[in-house]
Structure 1
Amino acid sequence: MTPEAFRRAFTHGLQALAGLPLGAARPRYDRLCQGFAPPLPEGMAVQDGSVAGVAVRRVRPAGALPGEVVYVHGGGWTLGSVASHQGIAASLAERLGREVVSVDYRLAPEASYVEALADCRAVIEALTPRAAVGDSAGGRLVMDAAGTGEWRGPLGLIYPPVGHPTPDTLGPDAPLLSRKDVLALWAMVEDDLPEGDPALPPGARLEVLAVEHDPLTAPLEDAVAAWRAAGAEVGYRRAPGLWHGALHAHAALPAMGEAWGDFCTALAHRLS
């Protein structure tokens, strides 16, 4: 698949959701994301259950090493599930060689950001995982869970919104996620976010993955520089020529696959 073919296909899928009630949009979003996922690796087990009263999906590779990794999906806090992001969770499990516990946190507007964060923090604190990884909106949840709880393990952050996005801090518009999209989603949750200094690193050890064309990338790169200056160990890589959401198609997009592989290898080193 070429990057342009991915962009067209994902754009078409997102446009088809416009105007639908959330009850109809959510399963369609799940199917859209699932359509880019490769088949599950041989021997990988998938099991739904719960941790601390929160719904989760466990993805376990054959011969898994001890210790779990928590994964928190994206979707703008209103969409996404353990089903939509199973391809990412499965790839993470395979590359790390560990069981990944994907959190099916409560979504807005039925639930507040406070409740979504409570779900993620409850799973992390119950499992004390080897690492916690989140992409997009899930990356922000992972950052805030680490910043408001007692767990202090390594974090993996995939194009998360950092700081307090404004028209002045965001980067240029891009396909698949516009500045307007970011600001509208942020307005929905900003009053419920925990207080804190955005210049302070969310953890002492972080691996970060971004894409070139994404309004969230400029503030994320500023944050990485600030976190390093504050003493955190931060690995950073950016997939060239790609857009927000491209991780779903990492198996078909060479630039995304290479950046994702580097991210997972670096995170695996931190776990070992």
Structure 2
Amino acid sequence: MTLHPEIAKFIAGLPTPPEGPLDPVSMRAADEAHVAPVEERLPLHAVDDVTVRTASGEVPVRVYTPVEADSYGVLVYFHGGAFFLGSLETHDHVARSLAQETGLKIISVGYRLAPEAAFPAGLDDCYAVVRWASEESGSLAWDGTTLAVAGDSSGGNFVAAVAARAHDDGFHQITHQVLYYPSLDLDFDVDRYASLRENAIGYGLETAGLKPFNAFYINNGADPANPLVSPIKRADLTGLPPALIVTAEHDPLRDEGEHYARRLREAGGEATVSRYEGAGHGFVQHFSWIPEYHGVFAETRDFLSRR
């Protein structure tokens, strides 16, 4: 299937990237400039900004409560942005849609970004918030059942790394992992996956852009051979939580997400792959308003309802 016409129109209208090295500060500012004002966002019962105190410092989180209830299942969400972009604000609409559709309490994590914070700072923040969520059952009204982790792109990388780290620590309360077009292999050899060549140019995220985008993370202390950096390199995937892995037809990262699912199944785990036709990388963040793509939230709900 060809690229969805609305996505194709958007990509055609993108300005030519400036020459020279990437500037994370200006790129973050450009992202924030597109955030909708609060009064135009999806209304929920409550949205609260909270500071989580961890062993490595304070982590800002945003807690989304969909409706008033005595207790809730919980989903901890890690936003994408190539480890150096994204924020609680740029992905606020994703968290709101997840809360509305799943009925779970969503905790979105404002983890530290590269290059200012080297690996494993962001991962540490995400993991610490998951542990905090399990311990704060009183203030969060967690019902003690669903404790899911979800993330898009580099946030999907953190999902897989957090699930593996939790397993190794003997923390087995994570019930589900949801990865939207995850970046799981930071070895960007273009011959590793066919989609890196098939979707190299013209679909938004381009294969040539992967290395410079992720350089802020890799060049500041992250070794691509480390399974906590490239979760697909983990030798033993047994015992990890059931996974929903959402991929996009026209995404350079499509095949590594689907390969990760195969490896989970080969290890005896449960892994569901859902490839969205006509979509490119980032469609959950940027194009979930298109009806056929908004269904990703209902699909997530259905997956999380299975125990």
Question: TM-score per shorter chain, which class?
Answer: 0.7 to 0.9
Partner of residue 107 from structure 1, selected from 97, 113, 121: 113
For these two proteins, the number of residue pairs brought into alignment is 267
Worse-superposed segment, 238-247 or 141-150: 141-150
> Is the partner of 2:252 in helix, strand or coil?
coil
Say which of 190, 206, 222 aligns to 1:192.
Answer: 222
Q: How far apart in 1 are the matches of 2:15 and 2:153?
A: 16
* Structure 2 CA distance for aligned equivalents of residues 111 and 11 of structure 1: 34
**For 1:55-70, what aligned pairs fall within 5 Å after superposition?**
55-64=60-69, 65-70=71-76
Q: Where do 1:41-80 residues align within 5 Å?
A: 41-52=42-53, 53-64=58-69, 65-80=71-86
CA contact (8 A) 1:209 1:260 kept: no
* Structure 1: runs of 5 or more not aligned: none
In 1, the alpha carbon distance for the partners of 2:18 and 2:77 equals: 25
Asked if 1:181 is matched to 2:209, the reply is yes
Give the TM-score normalised by structure 2. 0.77
Match of 2:143 in 1: none
Q: In structure 2, how many angstroms separate the alpha carbons of the residues matched to 1:62 and 1:18?
A: 47
Q: Residues 47, 11 of structure 1: CA spacing in aligned structure 2 closer, same or farther, 3 A cutoff?
A: farther
1:5 counterpart = 2:6? yes
Give the AA of the match of 2:237. P
Q: Is the 8 A contact 2:81 2:154 kept in 1?
A: yes
- Letter of the aligned partner of 1:182 in structure 2? L
Q: CA deviation at 1:18?
A: 7.1
Distance in 2 of aligned mates of 1:125 and 1:9? 39
Report matched runs for 1:118-157 at 5 Å: 118-128=124-134, 130-149=147-166, 150=169, 151-152=171-172, 153=174, 154-157=176-179
- Contact in 2 for aligned 1:29/1:84 (Cα 8 Å): yes
Contact 1:199 1:223 survives alignment (8 Å): no
Aligned with residue 182 of structure 2, among 140, 148, 160: 160
* TM-score, normalization by structure 1: 0.86
In structure 2, relative to structure 1, the CA distance for the partners of 1:251 and 1:77 (3 Å cut) is: closer
Q: CA deviation at 1:51?
A: 1.5
- Give the partner amino acid of 1:58: V
- Matched residue type, 1:234: A
How far the C-alpha of 1:62 sits from its partner, in A, is 1.4
Question: In 1, are the aligned partners of 2:7 and 2:287 still within 8 Å (CA)?
Answer: no
- Change over 3 Å in CA distance of 1:6–1:45 after alignment to 2: farther
CA 1:130–1:15 in 2, change beyond 3 Å: closer, same or farther? farther
Separation (CA, whole Å) in 2 of partners of 1:224 and 1:205? 10
Moved more, 182-191 or 228-237: 182-191
Deviation at residue 251 of structure 1 after TM alignment: 4.2
Query: What is the DSSP-based 3-state SS (H/G/I as helix, E as strand, rest coil) of the residue aligned with 2:301?
Result: helix
| Amino acid corresponding to residue 9 of structure 1 in structure 2 | F
1:222 matched to which residue of 2? Answer: 259
> Which of the numbers 253, 266, 269 marks the counterpart of 2:290?
253
Gaps in structure 2 of 5+ consecutive residues: 135-145, 228-232
Distance in 2 (CA, whole Å) between partners of 1:38 and 1:251 is 19
Partner Cα distance (1:219, 1:84) in 2? 25
SS in 2 for 1:75: coil
Instruction: Say yes or no: does 1:262 pair with 2:285.
Output: no
Aligned position for 1:29: 31
Q: CA RMSD in A?
A: 2.8
- Give the Cα–Cα distance (whole angstroms) in 2 for the partners of residues 121 and 14 of structure 1: 37
Contact 2:44 2:66 in 1 (8 A): yes
